[in-house]
Amino acid sequence: MDYKRVLTVQDISCLGQCSLTVALPILSAAGHETVILPSAVLSTHTGGFTGYTFRDLTEDLPKISAHWQKEGIRFQAIYTGYLGSAEQIAIVQEISKRCAAEGCRTIVDPAMADNGKLYPDFDMAFVEQMKRLTCQADVILPNITEACMLTGMPYKEQYDEAYIRKLLDLLRTAGARTIVLTGVSFSADTTGVVVLEGDDFRYYSHKRYARGCHGTGDVYASAFVGALLQGKSTYDAARIAADYTLRCIEVTIPDPDHWYGVKFEPVLGEYIRMLETN
């Protein structure tokens, strides 16, 4: 396995097991040199907490990038998660142009919406800028809501395979290359991911738990990137990430006090074994 340097750009929620606090350890466990570019620092994530602190780091991003360029630092992969503004998206696009090594792979998790709605403080101007970022990426990892926002397709809670295929067609028409669509459920007790690579449409399903956990999307995306950069196929990386995220949920569910995140740490060893054996 090549030793790759991957840049991940997203916020730091000091408590909450999401964004950079999961991306850094998971990518490191996959054997990659992980460079972080924090877009903001929060005392906690915003789901269920009140009175949290927030420090916007937008002004720092170009300065950090300029230093990297001066030092000749380049990345074999760039992975973006939650970005706080359209301005930050534009900055990331510049970084991708100036700090990418030859053959650099770009993976975008357009973390901006769920359950049919944009996250607070986002608007359609943000969506328009995200469209530009996703159409330039090698791989995108939207959930169904985000895919609808990117394409203008009406969001549905109940859908069939024809609806999912139409959504993927619209993403491809908009410029997306390889698509990993998450949270796709065709039955009440299962969920999964659809992978569209070229003309190859593949679906991987697994057990669905009624209780959700904060941060599972970030865990999934980070585990996917870690596996992909190890040389796994897109489908295998998507499957490994799904299996690992499911295990994280399973060890979190018995603890009702751990409502604010997902216990990914106790099963990091299982993730490493998945990478070794799959």
Task: Give the domain CATH number at 213.
Answer: 3.40.1190.20
Distance from the first to the final alpha carbon of the chain? 14
Rounded Cα distance between 43 and 243, Å, is 30
Is residue 120's pLDDT more than 90?
no
Q: Give the 3-state secondary structure of residue 58.
A: coil
Rounded Cα distance between 171 and 151, Å, is 6
* Mean pLDDT over the full length of the chain: 95
- pLDDT of amino acid 125: 93
Structure tokens at 21: 């606090």
The backbone torsions φ and ψ at residue 20, rounded to the nearest 5 degrees and listed phi first, read -70, -25
* Residue 32 or 211, more confident: 32
- pLDDT of amino acid 211: 77
The amino acid at 20: L
Rounded Cα distance between 106 and 72, Å, is 19
**Count: domains in the chain:** 1
**CA neighbor of 11 nearest in space, from 218, 258, 267:** 218
Weakest-pLDDT range from 15-24, 31-40, 80-89, 206-215: 206-215
Q: With bands split at pLDDT 50, 70 and 90, how would you rate the model's confidence at 1?
A: low
Please give the average per-residue pLDDT across 186-209, as a whole number: 94
- pLDDT of amino acid 212: 77
How distant, in Å, are the alpha carbons of 113, 173, 195 from that of 177?
21, 9, 11
Query: Residue written as tokens 């099963």?
Result: 267
How distant, in Å, are the alpha carbons of 15, 60, 93, 157 from that of 57?
18, 5, 16, 36
Is residue 11's pLDDT more than 80?
yes
Q: With bands split at pLDDT 50, 70 and 90, how would you rate the model's confidence at 278?
A: confident
Beta strands in 124-264 (DSSP E): 139-140, 178-181, 190-197, 200-207
DSSP 8-state symbol, 111: -
Please give the average per-residue pLDDT across 77-88, as a whole number: 95
Structural domain range at position 196: 5-277
For 14-51, b/e burial (b = at least 16 CB within 10 A) is eebbbbbbbbbbbbebbbbebbbbbbbebebbbeeeee
DSSP 8-state symbol, 265: G
Neighbours of 173 (CB within 10 A): 9
Torsion of CA 209, 215, 217, 223, to 10 degrees: -100
Please give the average per-residue pLDDT across 20-41, as a whole number: 97
